[in-house]
Structure 1
């Protein structure tokens, strides 16, 4: 008797999946939610050398997302390649990953968005062509569907409509949770506004603006970080200015500069000697020079209170204001984050009435050959060599 309760299995020969299906399957893994879609477009603008980026949502991104920049624009000879899978100007060989300075490098973003949106339109102009630009409409495969002339100063505008419309289940989930997803997108945009856009880990600052045009009657959203004046050095002063703009002047009360130089052992695996020849043992042969720069809450408690940190020291009840970067790239660093929170907690009295977490904005400058940024398609997860040892050094330096 053959069971019919499980999924149907085709017992035919193994065949290649057709190209269209492969494109849709992999695209759904690259762009997994609203914040990923926005992140990919913002990173393209940063890689194009933009000093001004506007992100415009309609109905929290359900209707459309538009990112405008004043970057270098796209050359006419590259038009046919911009929506194709694994076409990029940032990487030629796998070895280039160790010296990577751009945010994007996989050549998947725009191609994936073409497969996942109702429409994708690119309006662009280079310095030589402005104010005459070109309007390109891309099809589901990333190929040019139509081309027209338009007015555009140097830079690029990319417009997406109806994200996830080809994926009914994911689209329905987005519609049900759009306010929460929009909040996640804003948090991620805050990371770009506070980090590379303020000059943290970069040699330039970027004016950053985010707006939302909701349905009639709903409250609009606006975030704007002005470009620092040319006389302002790109340092922690600009990060402080950005944080103040986002959260208000009291947000940085009790927040101090974080500036650490750490020598972290570089671990190499070698074969054992003698009777333990077959064993692989870790040896420490040299050190990595890692610089940690940013801002962090001072955990000074109220004198004599013994209960809570001093009012206005930046301590919070959640980790919503903790942002981490590796070489200027916003990323998730769970071990580093836990180490910092554990250190901070040791300064909080055991009888404190509530949990406290510090405000943290931290950029780690790490040699390229000690970092792997090619872990997940969204590039948010980064592997750092000897991360456990790095956490230990940070605990010693900050405690």
Structure 2
């Protein structure tokens, strides 16, 4: 047996972190949000395979951090294992920029409030700075990735069809919508080949952000809800379809408008989605098992109760205390009970002993 060369190890791990154009955009967007950005521009050329650029107006990168800003496992967000129990940032592993450098050509332009001017840095495949020059960018950071998957021809070939490329654009738009909803103060513009695909302006609250994403007709069919439990501490809020709502407005054939967040992080939570779909089926009085309701739910729990380090894209999380999930589902079931016979809404939770303690 032989030890793998460092370059091969970097490529293997990087191709697991960065799997597609949308994964690049997601990592860069989360870096921007962690840097307190309120304005983000996402620009693609040739569906992102020629160029991906994410520009923000955030804090910028300090000069002292520049030499290691894209070197793997360097991060300003955690410093010890205990920090994982109190995460307040989207990113924390120090892998994203380093992984992108392995599979693309990367340029970073950045300026902090203390800098007199911005500087553009060119990085090598290991994330180290190879050259730099003054630039004209205002405060914030712009990350540009060129020739994505240049050294992974099979993966690039996978996205070579027009259908796959358009699906990737749609996934990016859906991702940006999620962040646009959970961050009302965030302005986003998404362009492809210089044509605007989607945009959102800054708004005042979650209702206005949900309205800006869904439109007036759909929002008119939604009802706000809140549920709070003190022990353990769980707070639910969001918007669900009204019992009398028009299914053509509040249901889709897929889950792309079923927005679930845990501590403002967009996640895939099967139990929550299943319960909402069951409710939607009951209130519509017909079999809608193939449809997915439009809704927005944010579940706020103590940071120490969530493990987000399950998979590279952090879209699946574990709640340390199962009670958090039970209470979340119970709180939702109470909301769904409005307008439904008791025997029906209690049946939503039948079949799972985990929830029996609440009845």
Asked if Structure 1 and Structure 2 have the same fold, meaning a TM-score greater than 0.5 normalized by the shorter chain, the answer is: yes
Change (3 A) 1:243 1:317: same
Secondary structure class of the residue paired with 1:374: coil
How many Å apart are 1:245 and its aligned residue?
A: 2.7
Secondary structure class of the residue paired with 1:347: helix
Structure 2, unaligned runs of 5 or more: 338-359
Pick from 142, 151, 162 the counterpart of residue 166 of structure 1.
151
Note the alpha carbon deviations across 1:85-107, whole angstroms, 9 max, x for none. Answer: 10000000111111110110000
Aligned mates of 1:154, 1:314 — CA distance in 2: 41
Note the alpha carbon deviations across 1:102-122, whole angstroms, 9 max, x for none. Answer: 1100000000000011x1000
Aligned mates of 1:242, 1:388 — CA distance in 2: 26
When normalised by structure 2's length, the TM-score is 0.87
How many Å apart are 1:57 and its aligned residue?
A: 1.1
Instruction: Pick which of 24-33 and 330-339 moved more.
Output: 330-339
Q: How does 1:55-70 map to 2 (within 5 A)?
A: 55-70=42-57
Q: Aligned residue for 1:124? A: 110
Indicate conservation of the 8 Å contact 1:136/1:145, yes or no.
yes
Q: Which has the larger radius of gyration?
A: 1
- Is 2:192 the partner of 1:212? yes
Instruction: Report which of the two has the higher share of helix.
Output: 2
Aligned mates of 2:170, 2:287 — CA distance in 1: 33
Indicate conservation of the 8 Å contact 1:258/1:362, yes or no.
no
Indicate conservation of the 8 Å contact 1:123/1:135, yes or no.
yes
How many Å apart are 1:43 and its aligned residue?
A: 0.5
- Is 2:359 the partner of 1:372? no
Note the alpha carbon deviations across 1:258-294, whole angstroms, 9 max, x for none. Answer: 211146xxxxxxxxxxxxxxxxxxxxxxx41211111
Q: Aligned residue for 2:207? A: 240
- Is 2:96 the partner of 1:152? no
How many Å apart are 1:67 and its aligned residue?
A: 0.6
Root mean square deviation, CA, Å:
1.9
Aligned mates of 1:392, 1:179 — CA distance in 2: 35
Change (3 A) 1:391 1:239: closer
Indicate conservation of the 8 Å contact 1:253/1:312, yes or no.
no
Change (3 A) 1:327 1:190: same
Instruction: Pick which of 143-152 and 42-51 moved more.
Output: 143-152
Aligned mates of 2:65, 2:115 — CA distance in 1: 14
Q: How does 1:347-386 map to 2 (within 5 A)?
A: 347-350=283-286, 355-384=290-319, 385-386=321-322
Structure 1, unaligned runs of 5 or more: 1-13, 199-204, 215-219, 233-237, 264-286, 301-308
Pick from 52, 62, 69 the counterpart of residue 82 of structure 1.
69
Change (3 A) 1:351 1:288: closer
How many Å apart are 1:311 and its aligned residue?
A: 6.0
Instruction: Pick which of 132-141 and 328-337 moved more.
Output: 328-337
Change (3 A) 1:351 1:69: closer
When normalised by structure 1's length, the TM-score is 0.79
Instruction: Pick which of 81-90 and 54-63 moved more.
Output: 54-63
- Is 2:228 the partner of 1:261? yes
Note the alpha carbon deviations across 1:303-333, whole angstroms, 9 max, x for none. Answer: xxxxxx5367623343221111111111111
Note the alpha carbon deviations across 1:156-210, whole angstroms, 9 max, x for none. Answer: 0000112111101001112221111121111111111111x21xxxxxx211111
Q: Aligned residue for 1:339? A: 275
